[in-house]
Amino acid sequence: MEVIEGKFYIDGEIRAASIGIEEGRIVKIGKNLTGDRIIRIEEGTVFPSMVDMHVHMREPGYAWKEDFESGTLSALHGGVTFVLDMPNTKPPVDSPENFRTKLKIASSKSYVDFGIAYLLHKKIDRSIAEEVTSFKIYMSETTNVDPVNYLMIPELIKDIKKNITVHAEFQECVQKSKKEGGNLLYHDMSRPETCEVMAVRYLGTVGGSGFHIAHVSSPDTVELSRIFGFTKEVTPHHLFLNRDMDLGSLGKVNPPLRSPFISERLRYLLSSGYIDVVASDHSPHTLEEKSDFKAAPSGLPGVETSLPLLFQAYKDSILTLDVLVKVAMERPGFLLGIPKGKIAPGYDADLSVIRLSDSRRIKSSDMHYKCGWTPFENMWGIFPRKVFIRGEMALDNFEETVEPGFGIYYKSNR
Ligand code: DOR
Ligand code: ZN
């Protein structure tokens, strides 16, 4: 047995403990455990690492924007040890063959553990449902993907027990709302909150409580989702950025950044426990692609800054640790049906060591993204100094200590 000693966040409190690890899993939590190897964490507190259930690592098909190596190295530096990759790649993950292609690429290049979401827009082969981590439905057009025919949704989701994440903007509403204009206010008006509300309202008529609503950008959607029993995620950009900031096309994303008032309401709903998950929706594009507002594709990078921004929000008294650990670690791990997100026996020893005095300004030049920029430039974040994946030290003193290919695939155990 290997042992890690230090101060841990366990069951809602920070306490001195030692945890015993066998084959990457936590097997024991106690005091002064003995083992074959003992690592003592002297500085900082040990938290579970983040489970980011919404990223676009862009492979196959768009590797000039990001690839599994650069994207998961960024994740590791941001305290994220599991990423769920979205299916809007080229080819899209909508056949067993395309699923296997992505699995092969990701397995050879990932620094952190990963899952693969399967695009649900046509009838699926039952055997593939066994293999995947989660499903994704796009109800509206967005970057590199066409909308589903929403009338097919009841049929498509039949018998699926795994997480079904929905990009909930209503296509007809998006089409009718289109406006010409070269700034974030226009982008907000051309995909208004009402489109999100309409989509979630439709999902409510489909019934069941199986949907997970991706990147909510409206307090009304949070409330409606609660009524329908859906889980919901919010992104750091909808929490900490808004359409009035001087971001230009770097802030162009779907669903759009809203007003400062709305992002404040989302922060309030998050801190009050009304939102289940924070996920990055890491969706990088190059600066060149982003150079002209109207032509720019929607999407922005974020996998490296999500957890640092959340710990900074805790330090700034915007969030409690209890909420932080639930939304960034425990709930996403649970929703995906993977043994991650908690420091408890039976879970992977995926840990991040955080010291609150490590706050520093977020700089594009420090990020590990291929695209070379972050929309959170100059904001404050607290980055992990050490990260463990399945008990192995993967980042030490802010430097990676594992190789690409270290990360392994997890399907959902549902
Ligand atoms: O802004 C977005 N970008 N929204 C999406 O739904 C897709 C994403 C992308 O893949 O770039
Ligand atoms: Zn996305």
| Distance from the alpha carbon of residue 38 to the mean position of ligand 2, in angstroms | 40
Q: Do 212 and 335 touch, CB atoms closer than 8 A?
A: yes
Per-residue pLDDT tens digits for 83-92: 999 999 999 9
Ligand minimally distant from the alpha carbon of residue 284:
1
Helices (H) and strands (E) in the chain, counts: 13, 18
Those residues with Cβ within 8 angstroms of residue 366's Cβ, 6 or more apart along the chain or in another chain: none
Cis peptide leading into residue 96 (ω within 30°): no
Q: What is the mean pLDDT of residues 61-73?
A: 98
Protein residues whose CB sits closer than 6 Å to any atom of ligand 1: 56, 88, 142-144, 167, 253-254, 283, 297-299
Pocket test for ligand 1, best of 86, 143, 174 (most atoms within 8 A of CB): 143
Q: Which residue has the tokens 């979205």?
A: 86
State how far the Cα of 52 lies from the Cα of 215, in Å rounded to an integer.
Answer: 12
Q: Work out the percent of the chain whose per-residue pLDDT is above 90.
A: 97
Q: Which residue has the tokens 């949704």?
A: 153
| E strand intervals along 56-142 | 80-85, 113-119, 134-138
Ligand 1, atom nearest to 86 Cα = 10
Q: Which of 50-64, 122-136, 282-296, 316-330 has the lowest mean pLDDT?
A: 122-136
| Distance from the alpha carbon of residue 31 to the mean position of ligand 1, in angstroms | 46
Indicate the Cα dihedral angle 209, 212, 213, 214, nearest 10°.
Answer: 180
- Among protein residues, the one with the nearest Cα to ligand 1's atom 7 is 143
| Distance from the alpha carbon of residue 110 to the mean position of ligand 1, in angstroms | 21
| Distance from the alpha carbon of residue 135 to the mean position of ligand 2, in angstroms | 13
Per-residue pLDDT tens digits for 239-255: 999 999 999 999 999 99
Ligand minimally distant from the alpha carbon of residue 301:
1
Q: Do 139 and 147 touch, CB atoms closer than 8 A?
A: yes
Identify the band that residue 126 occupies on the pLDDT scale cut at 50, 70 and 90: confident
Q: Is 281 part of the annotated catalytic residue set?
A: yes
Residues 352-372: b if buried by 16+ CB within 10 A, e if exposed: bbbeeebeeebebeebbbbbe
Cβ contacts of 181-186, under 8 Å, gap ≥ 24: 182/293, 182/294, 183/248, 183/293, 184/243, 184/244, 184/245, 184/247, 184/248, 184/251, 184/252, 184/256, 184/257, 185/243, 185/244
At residue 315's C-alpha, the angle toward residues 29 and 366, to 5°, is 95
The predicted model scores a pTM of 0.98
Per-residue pLDDT tens digits for 141-158: 999 999 999 999 999 999
Q: Do 204 and 228 touch, CB atoms closer than 8 A?
A: yes
Per-residue pLDDT tens digits for 300-341: 999 999 999 999 999 999 999 999 999 999 999 999 999 999
Radius of gyration of the chain (CA): 20
Ligand minimally distant from the alpha carbon of residue 145:
1
State how far the Cα of 263 lies from the Cα of 79, in Å rounded to an integer.
Answer: 24
Q: Which of 180-184, 384-388, 396-400 has the lowest mean pLDDT?
A: 180-184
Question: How do beta strands 25-30 and 80-85 pair?
Answer: unpaired
Per-chain mean pLDDT for the chain: 97
Is 117 exposed, middle or buried (CB count within 10 Å of its CB: 0-12, 13-18, 19+)? buried
Q: Work out the percent of the chain whose per-residue pLDDT is above 70.
A: 100
State how far the Cα of 168 lies from the Cα of 197, in Å rounded to an integer.
Answer: 8
Residue 352: its H or E element: strand 351-354
- Among protein residues, the one with the nearest Cα to ligand 1's atom 8 is 299
Per-residue pLDDT at 411: 97
Neighbours of 325 (CB within 10 A): 22
Question: How do beta strands 231-234 and 277-278 pair?
Answer: parallel
Per-residue pLDDT at 183: 97
Per-residue pLDDT at 208: 64
Ligand 1, atom nearest to 284 Cα = 11
Per-residue pLDDT at 209: 58
Pocket test for ligand 1, best of 66, 93, 145, 298 (most atoms within 8 A of CB): 298
Residue 167 pLDDT greater than 70, yes or no: yes
Map out the domains of the chain with their CATH numbers: 49-343+360-383 (3.20.20.140)
Ligand 1, atom nearest to 167 Cα = 6
| Distance from the alpha carbon of residue 180 to the mean position of ligand 1, in angstroms | 20
State how far the Cα of 42 lies from the Cα of 220, in Å rounded to an integer.
Answer: 45
Ligand minimally distant from the alpha carbon of residue 281:
2
| Distance from the alpha carbon of residue 234 to the mean position of ligand 1, in angstroms | 14
State how far the Cα of 310 lies from the Cα of 315, in Å rounded to an integer.
Answer: 9
- Among protein residues, the one with the nearest Cα to ligand 1's atom 4 is 254
Per-residue pLDDT at 210: 79
Those residues with Cβ within 8 angstroms of residue 167's Cβ, 6 or more apart along the chain or in another chain: 136, 137, 138, 139, 140, 142, 214, 215, 254
Ligand 1, atom nearest to 88 Cα = 10
| Catalytic position from the list 67, 85, 276, 281 | 281
Per-residue pLDDT tens digits for 356-375: 999 999 999 999 999 999 99
State how far the Cα of 39 lies from the Cα of 119, in Å rounded to an integer.
Answer: 42
Q: What is the mean pLDDT of residues 32-40?
A: 96
Per-residue pLDDT at 25: 98
Q: Which of 10-24, 128-142, 203-217 has the lowest mean pLDDT?
A: 203-217
Per-residue pLDDT at 146: 92
Q: Report in angstroms the alpha-carbon separations of 323 from 102, 273, 277, 310, 329.
A: 33, 7, 10, 10, 10
| Distance from the alpha carbon of residue 138 to the mean position of ligand 2, in angstroms | 9
Q: Do 153 and 203 touch, CB atoms closer than 8 A?
A: yes
Per-residue pLDDT tens digits for 173-227: 999 999 988 999 999 999 999 999 999 999 999 976 579 999 999 999 999 999 9
